Structure 1
Amino acid sequence: MKKVCVTGAGGFIGSHLAGLLLSGHEVSAFVRYVSTGSIGLLAEHEAASNLTVHRGDLRDVDAFRQAAAGCDTLFHLAAHISIPYSKIHPREVFEANTQMTMNALSVAGQEGLSRVVLIST
């Protein structure tokens, strides 16, 4: 069974993708850490034996490296998505999203993942 990593797995699209991938793959899901411990919409699949949830921030390379280790493919969906906030603080959102994507790509290369799929809306 191939192991895949999904960033943004607690969000709407990421949680649905992770749910689909659980049929036939081991899924390493990376969700943004929140103080409540919530894994967002991924909670629907929390009981799956082939799901491992990693909590952290993609701006922290070491936190993400644990989630990506041993994976074949990365599905990168993580992003700050609040449209109203991004209109008020466009530079902050741009810099955070850019850094998260660069970190994801960097770790994928260092860990030898064979495929990266970038998904954005």
Structure 2
Amino acid sequence: MTGASSYRRKLEPLCAKIGRDRVDQVVHAFYTKLRTDPVLHGYFDGITDFSEHEALIADFWWVAMGGILAQPRQFDMLGRHRTLGLTPVVFERWLALFGDTMAIYVPPDLAKQWLQMAVGIGANLQNQMPK
């Protein structure tokens, strides 16, 4: 049988293409860079348990890319970032470091898709920051 009825398109979420281990690698490497970055490190000084923070962020990205967690978590991106005084320079630096990190661990086509998501999330956060 040929034609449209025999064609089945398989949708594969970004999380399946990248894989959980790679998401964890990127998040860990990214936070290692953030903690020493001259522009961004101060925003992370109050975090006492970096392994838990990285796990939360990895879970966030996993879900954002279409993954499902065994134990669902609540993510309050706006609430967590609202009081930090984030500026456009901070967002630009964050995206640059994130893109640089992904370039090391993720194939270019997948890194581009993931970075597009990060750009959208960053723009949404910027638009909702107190003026």
Name the TM-score, length of structure 1 as normaliser. 0.43
Name the TM-score, length of structure 2 as normaliser. 0.41
The higher relative CO (CA closer than 8 Å, separation ≥ 6) is in 2
- Larger helix percent: 2
